[in-house]
Structure 1
Amino acid sequence: MITVSPDLLRRFDIPGPRYTSYPTADRFVEAFTAADYEQALAQRRTGPAALALPLSLYVHIPFCESLCYYCACNKIITKQHSRAAAYLRYLQREVDLHVAQLGPGQTVSQLHLGGGTPTFLSDDELKELMTMLQRSFELAPGSECSIEIDPRMVDGVRLAALAELGFNRISLGVQDFDPEVQKAVHRIQPADRVFRLMEQARAIGFDSVNVDLIYGLPRQTPESFARTLAQVQQLRPDRIALYAYAHLPERFKPQRRIVSAELPGAAVKVVMLSQSLSAFLSAGYTYVGMDHFALPNDALAVAKRQGRLHRNFQGYNTQPDYDLIGLGISAIGCIGATYSQNAKTMGEYCDHLDQGRLPVARGLALSRDDLARQAVIMALMCQGQVLFESIELAWLLDFRRYFATELEQLRKLAEAGLVLLDEAGIQVTASGWFFVRAVAMVFDRYLQADRDRAKFSRII
């Protein structure tokens, strides 16, 4: 079991970004408009990427039937399933506007449905959505098609329907099996239902099944979480996503219903994280990165071994940094050297589309400095190392000179045992993985100039 000293915990358990992108989404500006996004799409259409590189698609389905108190996602709580039909009509308008910019038949190699709860849609509505996407884009053979699933809303029949629609990867939201923790976060979900779904998913033959867990939830203890870990080991999913709960009630209203006094402290969270590492590594899982574990034959673990791991707004993945189109409210896209985000409310999203405009509310055009730092941060987050020469050749800079200030800051992390520095590059140590976000933060130019870090979750 990897241990972290109390001194390291005190020094480096600080607020910081998760780096699903760099620059991070909080740096997006409203000065970036739909016109800027259309220009990026036009450049893709006329540039070499249109022929050589496929697209990734993300579709945000915001609806949930009930509220989970820990949730920080953009969602709409409703039991009125009729709202989904109207939303699909607006998604069709957004897809049509993209096709008008890019041309029909753009190849897609990765599709992900997130939320909210994508399985809030009925089977017929999901079929309508997939037909819409397949009519407008060309899904490449062997494409990764994944969907997030609420086990409370899905049975074996629905799993079979999802497979028939083309989904080959599913993610089950578990979070914690302990009944007391489930009560505290308003998500009652019997373990036997999840086990039955896993058995049915294996029988159907999905390429990969992921399970989401969260540590740091109210009423969790090392003892209770150990029981959850044992059940997950028995469940044996292909992938495990293990997230630290970020308690930010000032930003996320549902979290105000959580009793702060019932939250485990930072030291206890470190114990639970260490327990998780020990449990999953001893069970034969590969530690892919900050949040993710995978069985050795899973595509994510293979990509880790081969140095092909990537990270985007869905976390770690196997796909190269293809252009990403985000569809639906609050969805984030990445086209060329730009980020864009759709309007965050249903009213604003629909207003844009009613006026025949793409619903972009903000975004960012990346500078050369942004792109160079992005390469360094993603190398740290994905490979746990940065080779100076690779950055120098890609960005035509002298690493030691360009990042002189950052390297000086890293020496403090090296003295703490989090990184190793030599003439060739930077290597994150085994204990440094607990604080890899702190290592990446050194290269975040925006964060170094910003004293207001309380808006981010804490590293542990």
Structure 2
Amino acid sequence: MLHSLVNKYNIAGPRYTSYPTVPYWDEATFSLKKWKSSLIQSYKESNSKEGMSLYIHLPFCESLCTFCGCNKRITKQHAVESPYINAVLKEWNLYLELLEEKPIIKELHLGGGTPTFFSPENLKRLINGIFMHATRAENYEFSFEGHPNNTTREHLQALYDVGFRRVSYGVQDYNETVQKAIHRIQPFENVKKATNLAREIGYTSVGHDIIFGLPFQTREHIKETILKTKALLPDRLAFYSYAHVPWIKGNGQRGFNDSDLPSAASKRQQYELGKQLLAEVGYHEIGMDHFALTNDSLYQSMNNGNLHRNFMGYTASKTQTMIGLGVSAISDSWYGFAQNVKGIESYYNLLKDNILPIYRGHILNEEDLVIRKHILNLMCRFKTSWTKDKLCFEALPDVLIRLQEMKKDGLLNTHSNTIEVTEKGRPFVRNICMAFDVLLQRKQPNTPLFSMTI
């Protein structure tokens, strides 16, 4: 039965870190002026109540991983560190000029690229520079992505000293054949050392990222990786499907053939096996493709209804305002999205002229805002509801018609004004969200835009 459902629903679709999704942003009516206005509105509404989130993109890597779809610059020249940090702090200062109150930072995340490409001293300089004119929220959470091969005690200690308590390590898979295919060679001992170092220093949440559906990967490889993961017992796990999008220029996904990838049915078997093994040792499924132990804030936020999803992925609490700094970073004012230029040189040139380095975005209309809430509800709580005066929208009857087939297949239950995803339907939550995505339904893409849903 699972095999037939996989065949039926394995189509290209968004991961819904935002709605509208980036390919459906209305760039024609977007402007920097409108973005600034939406940000100021959101900031005034939310800063004193909940604070804001800050994402900083650090794009440099010393080598190219062929599974990666992130925006990065490959170099071994560490002289690039200081100019980039200066530029990020310049961008932050331009945002500070827009905001009348002193920002309260509730969440801060360093992503990449490889954040630990940067020296501990430069990372500390970056964070101290951010907080020269900002304060930490009472229950703040700072996190960073670490590479197990180059995250040193000095990196961990420097970031701990400025407030970081969570680190996530990109593991992907422990099998040597798979590692060679994705150009990511890192022995288990390196991951073990990096994990133990973080705990010795005092990090309260250590996460591992594992991918299924990689080239040459089998169920036995997944079993081997999960069993080794159990030995380290990270507090949370991202266990997600490899997104094969080789048409995105420069993402490096040309290092193997499509025939080297497992089938959709095999990928789903890999996930189900991993999920079963993780459950046996006490991990709980959080939203889509995430797992956590009961002591982790992600599990606790799921239980108390505060789980949120944005461009940083799942987060333990919601902030209405999120500013993204650095090349390609995306900001979210709730009322609008804005993305920075992807080229480092363009980024530097705009900042030199005191211009926010934004090149595209979208201002949400009333329909967008309502549908966004439904998709967030489904992604974070596996259910959503509406009444005549709340979360209703004109196209809702069409959405319910599109959901009928999924209801027949047992993927969801409907009541008078509620939809609830079943346990059987959780692997297909992206497909369920697609039924709500009226922009996607109105204009189906003619060229590849998204990875497969399974």
Fold conserved (TM > 0.5)? yes
Amino acid at match of 1:459: T
The corresponding residue for 1:126 is: 123
Paired with 2:288 and 2:278, the residues of 1 have a C-alpha distance of 13
The corresponding residue for 1:406 is: 399
Paired with 2:350 and 2:147, the residues of 1 have a C-alpha distance of 30
Paired with 1:49 and 1:227, the residues of 2 have a C-alpha distance of 45
Structure 2 residue 31 is matched with structure 1 residue 5 = no
Amino acid at match of 1:159: L
Structure 1 position 152, deviation (Å): 0.8
Paired with 1:120 and 1:387, the residues of 2 have a C-alpha distance of 45
| Aligned counterpart in structure 2 of residue 108 of structure 1, from 102, 105, 110 | 105
The corresponding residue for 1:455 is: 449
The corresponding residue for 2:174 is: 177
Paired with 2:334 and 2:405, the residues of 1 have a C-alpha distance of 35
Amino acid at match of 1:340: A
TM-score (norm. length: structure 2): 0.96
Amino acid at match of 2:216: R
CA contact (8 A) 1:104 1:136 kept: no
Amino acid at match of 2:124: K
Paired with 1:124 and 1:157, the residues of 2 have a C-alpha distance of 9
After superposition, residues 316-331 of structure 1 pair within 5 angstroms as 316-331=314-329
| Aligned counterpart in structure 2 of residue 89 of structure 1, from 77, 86, 89 | 86
Paired with 2:92 and 2:157, the residues of 1 have a C-alpha distance of 27
Paired with 2:40 and 2:386, the residues of 1 have a C-alpha distance of 34
Amino acid at match of 1:388: W
Structure 1: state its 5+ residue gaps. Answer: none
Determine what percentage of the aligned residue pairs are the same residue: 39
Paired with 1:244 and 1:414, the residues of 2 have a C-alpha distance of 24
Q: Deviations over 1:154-206 (max 9, x none)?
A: 13333222212221110101001111110111110010111122122222221
The corresponding residue for 2:416 is: 423
Q: Deviations over 1:107-132 (max 9, x none)?
A: 11110010101111101101110111
The corresponding residue for 1:278 is: 276
After superposition, residues 261-272 of structure 1 pair within 5 angstroms as 261-272=259-270
CA contact (8 A) 1:242 1:292 kept: yes
Paired with 1:267 and 1:422, the residues of 2 have a C-alpha distance of 31
CA contact (8 A) 1:95 1:136 kept: no
Structure 1 position 29, deviation (Å): 4.2
CA contact (8 A) 1:104 1:137 kept: no
Paired with 1:61 and 1:168, the residues of 2 have a C-alpha distance of 19
Give SS of 1:153's match: coil
Structure 1 position 365, deviation (Å): 0.5
Structure 1 position 267, deviation (Å): 1.1
Paired with 1:95 and 1:244, the residues of 2 have a C-alpha distance of 34
| Aligned counterpart in structure 2 of residue 49 of structure 1, from 37, 46, 58 | 46
The corresponding residue for 1:140 is: 137
Aligned length: 451
The corresponding residue for 2:66 is: 69
Amino acid at match of 1:376: H
Structure 2: state its 5+ residue gaps. Answer: none
Paired with 2:222 and 2:334, the residues of 1 have a C-alpha distance of 42
Amino acid at match of 2:243: A
After superposition, residues 44-443 of structure 1 pair within 5 angstroms as 44=42, 47-103=44-100, 105-253=102-250, 254-389=252-387, 392-395=388-391, 397=392, 402-443=395-436
Paired with 1:80 and 1:454, the residues of 2 have a C-alpha distance of 35
Amino acid at match of 1:430: E
Amino acid at match of 1:69: T
Runs of 4+ with deviation above 4 angstroms: none
Structure 1 position 134, deviation (Å): 0.7
Paired with 1:135 and 1:169, the residues of 2 have a C-alpha distance of 22
Paired with 2:317 and 2:108, the residues of 1 have a C-alpha distance of 11
Deviates more, 1:328-337 or 1:68-77: 328-337
Give SS of 2:229's match: helix
